[in-house]
Structure 1
Amino acid sequence: MCMICGDEASGCHYGVLTCGSCKVSFKRAVEGHHSYLCAGRNDCIVDKIRRKNCPACRLRKCYQAGMMLGGRKLKRFGALKALGMAPSLMFQSHLAMSSDNQALNSMSCIPGIREVQFSQQIINILENIGPEVVYSGFDNSQPEVAHLLLNSLSRLCEKQLLWIVKWSKSLPGFRNLHITDQMTLIQYSWMNLMVFSLGWRSFQNVNSEYLYFAPDLVLSQEQMRRSPIYDLCLAIQFIPQEFANLQVTREEFLCMKAIILLNTVPLEGLKSQGAFEEMRQSYIRELTKAIHGREKGLVASSQRFYHLTKLMDAMHEIVKKVNLFCLTTFIQADAMKVEFPEMMSEVIASQLPKVLAGMVRPLLFHTK
């Protein structure tokens, strides 16, 4: 059965089981540089009968399924090499993970929290490698036109992605992973890290009526409502609201941010799976220590760990909405007059379809 429209499949085309019609449609759309624009809400039904009704939604579904036309593939490491992510240069850091071999076997290990001491050394490192302030270049004197805001957000994401790469390279333990795993983890978690950090900046700098994308790009509730990202803003606002409700400390945030880098993996696992699991459990353990620095008593500490891990689990669904909007905008970029820098284009084209197609596994703390 065709993964796009449900018709009888004729074979595996461009990496996905599809019918001949969807194969041809995808090839023409990509090779012809067509600028499709959905007349609806980018959620049109694509089936055997209605597959020709909306080329934009059909193309989006092709990308979501993981189709990729070989001749149009962006160079695998092109833009990333420029960031020092080439195999020979990537993630060289002088920082090393503390030799603590204790493992956090399950969430029920919280009882042992009374015996541990807060690791200020790790927190100091996480504090020192934090990203610098990044500006969007948004001109508030411009008229409120959708593509101007989206272009500013696109440029801001590019700058933040660069900082995520640099931050990851300095994160204790990360350089112990296989180079391919390092790239994979960054490419699967960059949006999660951006959205999580956006929530933190908003919590720190403004009240619940605003989102603090950058010092020069702060959107009020009314500006969000008039923007093309209003629905996304409503979803993202849950994060700073939870930060406020829980009064999350900076130490807790820094540990959670490191864990979020390690919260999405390929279905087939990683090359250095053992080292990855050890690193992830180490940062979970650091979070429990940070919690203990705030909450005295087993019950209070356990409850706080529960709420913070529930927030990290919720990030997956929030970011899924952001990823879908990002991919849809990328597909319709020409028609929407939105420009994507080279590095953003490379990561979006190569990774977001895999994420949205369910080819990755979110590591959840709680069962739904």
Structure 2
Amino acid sequence: IQCVICGDEASGCHYGVLTCGSCKVFFKRAVEGHHSYLCAGRNDCIVDKIRRKNSHLLDFLLHRLKRYGALKALGLVPSLMFQSHLAMSSDNQALNPMPCRVGICEVQLNQQIVGILENIEPEDVHSGYDNPQPDVPHLLLSTLNHLCEKQLLSIVKWSKALPGFRNLHINDQMTLIQYSWMNLMVFSLGWRSFQNVSSEFLYIAPDLVLNQDQMRRSPIYELCMAIQLIPQEFAKLQVTREEFLCMKAIILLNTVPLEGLKSQAAFEEMRQSYIHELTKVIHMKEKGVVASSQRFYHLTKLLDSIHEIVKKVNLYCLSTFLQAETMRVEFPAMMSEVIASQLPKVLAGMVRPLLFHTK
């Protein structure tokens, strides 16, 4: 991963931005020293890992951050970390809002979509957890938080490759990821469990599989019980791989801010395209109209249920975050910023889940 300022290798997320150690020093001086920096040139200087040490170029760094939309009165906007990852493409297409129609048909032929979804599906991420005692709360929770950050990066990369997504306004891309990342993680966790283990287990990662006894002794027992409903529904409905892939794409497009999106019309068309794609793969399994309609009903009921399950996860996550120091639970930088900036909005009802069915 590169520093978004000079292009050198990033050492981490510093002050909300993925940067190298050298640029981090500048941020520290700028934020803690309350200095007002101006570009010494014409705001078109080249900043790289060789020139970054020049004093006048250090002054320019702040201007570059402002040009990225990263700073607001020396307070970093949390969503920049997503912008930096969304920008990591050869043509930087994600940074340029594109006022165009984004129906799947215009991106690829419909019959190719499921194949694309299969090709871009992320590989399982290892947790690095090596403690056989999941009832040690801070160790397990810290591991889960670090795993979530890895999975969040995978979600950003996956969303960039999702047909139609990069054509949305860049702000909409970041908003959709920020509001759906937990839903996507929980849904994918349910699928991994359905595919790899029996109903008595949760397949959190290849190196972190919890059985019933381990769940019961863990600090997240109630959450595990709620999440287990997902693989149970997968098993009950015998959900196909193609259906899962389409449903996952819909989940990315299933939570929006109350005020709507900048490219609202394009978003709605894209969402309807993936819903249509789901109906197509349903018809591959159920030939009759009645049977297909019933299956669509059950699969969309499952999609709706994800919101309630994730709400419980979000509540626990925010509660743990607020007590992190007391509980000795580690939260990586990116996770901390996402949780602090987005979860309160979600839990306060400032976002709208797009439901298929009325309760």
TM-score (norm 1): 0.72
DSSP 3-state at the match of 2:172: helix
Task: Determine which of 82, 85, 102 is the counterpart of 1:80.
Answer: 82
Task: Determine which of 229, 247, 262 is the counterpart of 1:256.
Answer: 247
Uncovered stretches (5+) of structure 1, i.e. residues with no partner? 1-69, 102-117
Alignment of 1:342 with 2:333, yes or no, is: yes
Task: Determine which of 218, 225, 229 is the counterpart of 1:238.
Answer: 229
DSSP 3-state at the match of 2:226: helix
CA distance in 2, matches of 1:74, 1:329: 24
Note the alpha carbon deviations across 1:215-272, whole angstroms, 9 max, x for none: 0000001100000100000000000000000000000000000000000000011110
Q: Single out whichever of 309-318 and 71-80 deviates more from structure 2.
A: 71-80
Alignment of 1:165 with 2:156, yes or no, is: yes
CA distance in 1, matches of 2:162, 2:296: 22
Does structure 1 retain, via aligned residues, the 8 Å contact 2:104–2:270? Answer: no
Report the equivalent of 2:113.
Answer: 122
C-alpha change, 1:236 and 1:72, in structure 2 (3 Å) is: farther
Report the equivalent of 2:144.
Answer: 153
Task: Determine which of 130, 137, 158 is the counterpart of 1:139.
Answer: 130
Does structure 1 retain, via aligned residues, the 8 Å contact 2:86–2:94? Answer: yes
Task: Determine which of 346, 349, 358 is the counterpart of 1:358.
Answer: 349
CA distance in 1, matches of 2:285, 2:348: 40
Q: Single out whichever of 251-260 and 70-79 deviates more from structure 2.
A: 70-79
Q: How many residue pairs align between the two structures?
A: 281
Identity rate of aligned residues, in percent? 74
CA distance in 1, matches of 2:74, 2:219: 29
Does structure 2 retain, via aligned residues, the 8 Å contact 1:134–1:160? Answer: yes
Alignment of 1:99 with 2:105, yes or no, is: yes
CA distance in 2, matches of 1:262, 1:295: 25
Report the equivalent of 1:186.
Answer: 177
C-alpha change, 1:141 and 1:223, in structure 2 (3 Å) is: closer
Note the alpha carbon deviations across 1:87-117, whole angstroms, 9 max, x for none: 9947479xx854369xxxxxxxxxxxxxxxx
Does structure 2 retain, via aligned residues, the 8 Å contact 1:146–1:228? Answer: yes
CA distance in 2, matches of 1:294, 1:161: 32
Q: RMSD value over aligned CA atoms?
A: 2.4
Q: Per-residue deviation at 1:326?
A: 0.4
- Aligned partner of 2:263: which letter? S
Q: Per-residue deviation at 1:210?
A: 0.3
Does structure 2 retain, via aligned residues, the 8 Å contact 1:91–1:170? Answer: no
TM-score (norm 2): 0.74
Greater relative CO, 1 or 2 (CA 8 Å, sep 6+): 1
Does structure 1 retain, via aligned residues, the 8 Å contact 2:249–2:274? Answer: yes
Q: Per-residue deviation at 1:83?
A: 2.5
Uncovered stretches (5+) of structure 2, i.e. residues with no partner? 1-71, 97-101
C-alpha change, 1:199 and 1:72, in structure 2 (3 Å) is: farther
